[in-house]
Structure 1
Amino acid sequence: MSKSKAIQDEGRAIAWVGQFVQHAGPRYMQIADFVEQALADGLLKPGDRLPPQRRLAQLLQVDLTTVTRAYDEAKRRNLLEGQGARGTYAAAPKVELAQLLDLSMNIPPPPAGVDFDDLLKQGLAQVLLRTDSGLLMNYHLGGGGQADRAAGAAWLAPMLGRVHEEQVLVCPGAQPVLAALILTLSRPGDIILAEPAVYPGLRAAAAQLGRRVQAVEVDAAGMLPDALEKACGKPRVALIYLNPTLQNPTTHTMPAARRREIARVAARCGVQIIEDDPYWLLADAPPPLAHYAPRQVNYISTLSKCLAPGLRTAFVLLSDPLRREDFMTALRSFVLMSTPLTTALATQWIHDGSAQRLLAGVREEARSRQRLAHQLLAGKAEAGGGGIHIWLPLPGYWTAHELAQAAQAEGLAVTSPEAFYAGPRPPNAIRISLGSIRDSGHLAAALRKLSQLLARR
């Protein structure tokens, strides 16, 4: 074969490759996107052979690892298939309806412009370099070491200002913290006041522990102070539960004036507040309730909704430091300790700035997905800017239960309001989570399918 013929063949072999774009994500993801776009445009057809990884790396002037990861990502998306020594080939299309497109799980989306795999490898390498591996595999019972609590104080500073690290407790996720606070601050048969729409994990914990959740009337700004004060006057009221920023599921954020009023009512009535605040760092929100009434509010900030659920790390501030031992005893009855390795990783990321980069990427991607959802759902959804879910009121010809069933038949999972409302008549709406489908193209396909479903009578 002549040299010019070989060059022409090689040029055709990479004609599907687009131009790398700065700040458009890691290059291995861009290469996988090139493959996906080329298959959609017909530049690559099922059965076409792609260049060997080493040769493609030379042609694109990237390192071999980048191409290897790009091919692995494309295989994960079912775009390519490896045939051993014969090479790598464009795959036949898969039937998307066989896969459930999950719009029900509230997790953060993949961070824009951040190579999460590299971040994870670097973080773990630093943890193993700086920490005795024996300590990472041992018991840790005290609510976090000094470095962990210092990381927690730094993480809470944007919400609450300067926090002394000795006040911070490092715990294994928000759900066991909720249960431990209920055990510490109430007795069986007591009442927990909440808004009509409430996090299902609270209802589950209260039911298991023999407490009752009672709804307090709300308006557009959130829980009504007068209604709260009246409810606090009833026997056996022990706690108030609030998720005031990007509330799950309604996405409402309580304004500052209402937060101050609620804090004053709780103080006047002598009732403790549990402030569950997983989304504050994704929003442009007023200061938390704990800012206005630190002696009345037990504050929870988890990394699960703004960084990654697998970190299983929450930072807690108790309203009364004297309750620390009681709280830790209650917490250990559910889960003995935070996982040392993931706690150390969270601490490392916060101290070296990786957590802030990851958070910025999640915020950017979440806002992009919010815009996509509003575009494809014709602006029907309610959403607070930057959150990872939307609340979609339904047309009168659909009930939430019927739509959820129809969506399931179409390969979509959405969340009905019954999961959040204890009352007999929840609103006719569904919650749509925007982070659980990793690929934004697949998310767009799911939202289009949902929009078409909504249009059917």
Structure 2
Amino acid sequence: MSSPTHHWIKRLADTRKPAYLAIPDLIEEDLATGRLRPRDRLPGLRDLAEELALNYTTVARAYAEARKRGLLDSRAGSGTFVRGRTATLPLAGGSSIEMSMNTPPEPPDYAARLRDSAARLMSGSDPYQLLRYQDFGGSAADKDAGAEWLKRRVPHCDAQNVLVCPGIHSALVALVSQLARPGGTICLDTLAYPGIKAIAAQLGVRLQALPRDDEGPLAHAFEALCKTDKPSAFYCNPTLQNPSTLTLTHKRREALADVALRYSVPIIEDDAYAMLPQSAPDALASFAPELTYYVTGLSKSLGAGLRVAHLHAPTARQTQRLAGALRATTVMASPFTVTLATQWIVDGTALDMLNAIRNESRARQAIASRMLEAWPYDAHADGFHLWLPVPAESGWSASELALQLRNQGIAAVAGAAFSTDGNPPNAMRVCLGGSKTRDECEEALRIVGETLDHPHHLHSPVM
């Protein structure tokens, strides 16, 4: 059985950060991606020092720092264990508030719409057919509906190049496995969806972070990498990026696509949040259609449980190759879920729900602007998360702030989970959709603001 920390060896070699600070970041990252789980046992100090080729003192300092961040528990005679969620102080409603998972807020009539749609689906479908194997990648009707949905962002979309997948993550697994061999390189932003990090680690693919500015990854850095070590692909989350909320400008998208075209580098365009803004620059797929694998899903637009994604490949042949990779890992998407998604797209429910979720997101962003007025952060009015830099004058580090918030019943994610260059920003992603109501969202954001205002809680005892 392989060690849960063996993959740290390469990560430590790639980072410029001291190992005693990098190891706690890696623990935090592995917790966020699910590689580590609460109550997992970590190697002892001497064993880990030997495995990572570090001295004993460095590893001891790393574990001490991780305990300070609330990530580990050490028990005499038993070992060192990953901590689960700390016991929380209940809020007014008596339960904790989820602000770590980026899920769309649910409009007031969401449940009624879902019940009505499910009833119509069951009355108009053969229920046995929904429990049987279906054509992989979706039926012709499912692909046609997917193509119509994608044309909102990819006008040249062709249904024969569309695959219906059980979520964006599964599509990314297939794409990485097809485009990059073990040991190959995928380049991306210095901040990225944690899932792409987990996929790359699982498949033995190296991630190379590209320097960024206020408009996103730098095109000249992408070109420099292409000249010295041609990457297998360029991964990009260009619209309302997770976690930074950045939307790449038209000019930056054009420049990145130009580099990809000149060096024949495939583009993985993970446009999970593409449908939320009322307007956004053209997709990278519009600038480099012959190289771009465009994927978006319904879980970030309509509901986290609607695990349906639509992937558009450059050619029919590449679509079939991807279908084989997806079949090997996921067999097929749930027929019931896909049929519901297709029905929603065709009858207009999807667009109605998208507008309702956009309106609810705006209401919650307005709450955030009031509750966090004293603390600058990045957000988009139509999105449902924000990126909160933790200023040095607050007295907090992002990981310590996240721990303190957990102690108060609020779950948020520190920047280490999203870093791809080993140098995570002192910032935190706060999601607004997990709160059941606007009042609950306001209460949670009030606590976030008050905690930032009172760094003397930094050394409060863990409850």
Question: For this structure pair, what is the TM-score category when the shorter chain's length is used for normalisation?
Answer: 0.7 to 0.9
1:279-307: CA deviation from partner (whole Å, max 9, x where unpaired):
11111311110111111110001000010
Instruction: Find 1:101's aligned residue among 88, 97, 100.
Output: 97
Q: Which secondary structure does the structure 2 equivalent of 1:331 belong to?
A: helix
Task: Give the counterpart of 2:146 among 132, 142, 152.
Answer: 152
The unaligned stretches of length 5 or more in structure 1 are: 1-93
Per the alignment, residue 130 of structure 1 pairs with 124
* 2:450 pairs with one of 431, 449, 452: 452
Letter in 1 for 2:410: L
Task: Write out per-residue CA displacement over residues 34-87 of structure 1, whole angstroms, 9 at most, x where no aligned residue.
Answer: xxxxxxxxxxxxxxxxxxxxxxxxxxxxxxxxxxxxxxxxxxxxxxxxxxxxxx
Paired residue type of 1:166: Q
- Which amino acid is the alignment partner of residue 110 of structure 1? E
The residue that corresponds to 2:282 in the other structure is 287
CA change 1:385–1:248 in 2 (3 A) is same
- Correspondence for 2:342: 347
Separation in 2, partners of 1:325, 1:423: 34
Rounded to whole Å, the distance in 2 between the matches of 1:164 and 1:266 is 22
**What amino acid does structure 2 have at the position aligned with 1:344?**
T
What is the 5 A alignment of 1:206-245? Answer: 206-235=200-229, 237-245=231-239
**Distance in structure 2 (CA, Å) of the matches to 1:416 and 1:209:** 25
Specify whether residues 130 and 164 from structure 1 end up closer, same or farther in structure 2 by C-alpha distance, changes over 3 A only.
farther
Per-residue CA distance 1:161-192 (angstroms, 9 max, x = gap): 25332221111100010010011111110001
Question: CA offsets, 1:191-249, max 9 Å, x none?
Answer: 01000001100000000001011100111111111100111223362010000111110
Secondary structure of the residue aligned to 1:274 is strand
Query: Would you say 1:407 and 2:405 are equivalent positions?
Result: yes
User: Is contact 1:126-1:348 (8 Å) kept?
Assistant: no
Backbone CA RMSD of aligned residues: 1.5
Distance 1:352 1:246 in 2: 27
Residue matched to 2:332: 337
Once residues 450 and 171 of structure 1 are traced to their aligned partners in structure 2, the CA distance between those partners, rounded to angstroms, is: 37
Correspondence 1:190 to 2:184: yes
Alignment-mate amino acid for residue 342 of structure 2: T
Answering whether residue 326 of structure 2 is matched by residue 326 of structure 1, we say no
8 Å CA contact 1:153–1:162 kept in 2: the answer is no
Are the equivalent residues in 1 in contact too, given 2:415–2:425 (CA < 8 A)? yes
Per-residue deviation at 1:402? 1.0
1:371 aligns with 2:366: yes
Residues in 2 aligned to 1:111 and 1:306: alpha-carbon distance in whole angstroms:
12
Residues 211/256 of structure 1: CA separation in 2 closer, same or farther (3 Å cut): same
In structure 2, C-alpha distance between the alignment counterparts of 1:196 and 1:325, rounded to whole Å: 32
Instruction: Check the 8 A contact 1:246/1:387 in 2, yes or no.
Output: yes
* Separation (CA, whole Å) in 2 of partners of 1:205 and 1:95: 36
Distance 2:168 2:367 in 1: 29
Contact map agreement 2:412 2:428 (CA 8 A) in 1: yes
1:154 corresponds to which letter in structure 2? E
Equivalent position of 2:72 in the other structure:
none
> One-letter code of the match for 2:385?
H
SS in 1 for 2:388: strand
1:383·1:391 contact (CA, 8 Å) conserved in 2? yes
Question: Does the 8 Å contact 2:157/2:312 carry over to 1?
Answer: no
Q: Is the aligned partner of 1:422 residue 2:416?
A: no
Q: Secondary structure in 2 aligned to 1:175?
A: helix
SS in 1 for 2:401: helix
| CA contact 2:211–2:218 (8 Å) conserved in 1 | yes
Shift in CA distance, 117/97, structure 1 to aligned 2, threshold 3 Å: closer
Partner letter of residue 334 of structure 2? Answer: T
Q: Is the 8 A contact 1:394 1:430 kept in 2?
A: yes
Distance in 1 of aligned mates of 2:365 and 2:115: 30
Q: Which runs of 5+ in 2 are unaligned?
A: 1-89, 456-463
Worse-superposed segment, 133-142 or 160-169: 160-169
Structure 2 counterpart SS, 1:431: strand
* Structure 2 letter corresponding to 1:416: A
Is the alpha carbon distance of 1:327 and 1:435 closer, same or farther for their aligned partners in structure 2, counting shifts above 3 Å?
Answer: same
What letter is aligned with 1:386? D
Equivalent pair of 2:161/2:319 in contact (CA under 8 Å): no
Aligned CA distance change for structure 1 residues 145 and 204 (closer, same or farther; 3 Å): same
User: Cα offset for 1:422?
Assistant: 2.9
Aligned partner of 2:29 in structure 1 is: none
Q: CA deviation at 1:401?
A: 1.1
The alpha-carbon deviation at position 119 of structure 1 amounts to 1.4
TM normalised by structure 2 equals 0.76
Measured after TM superposition, the shift of residue 98 of structure 1 is 4.8
CA contact (8 A) 1:97 1:410 kept: no
Q: Which residue of 1 aligns with 2:162?
A: 168
Name the structure 2 match of 1:75: none
Distance in 2 separating the partners of 1:392 and 1:177: 29
The answer to whether the aligner puts 1:438 opposite 2:418 as a matched pair is no
Q: Distance in 2 between matches of 1:342 and 1:440?
A: 28
- 2-structure distance, mates of 1:105, 1:429: 16
Q: How high is the sequence identity, in percent, across the aligned residues? A: 39
* Structure-to-structure mapping, 1:46-65, within 5 angstroms: none
CA contact (8 A) 1:374 1:380 kept: no
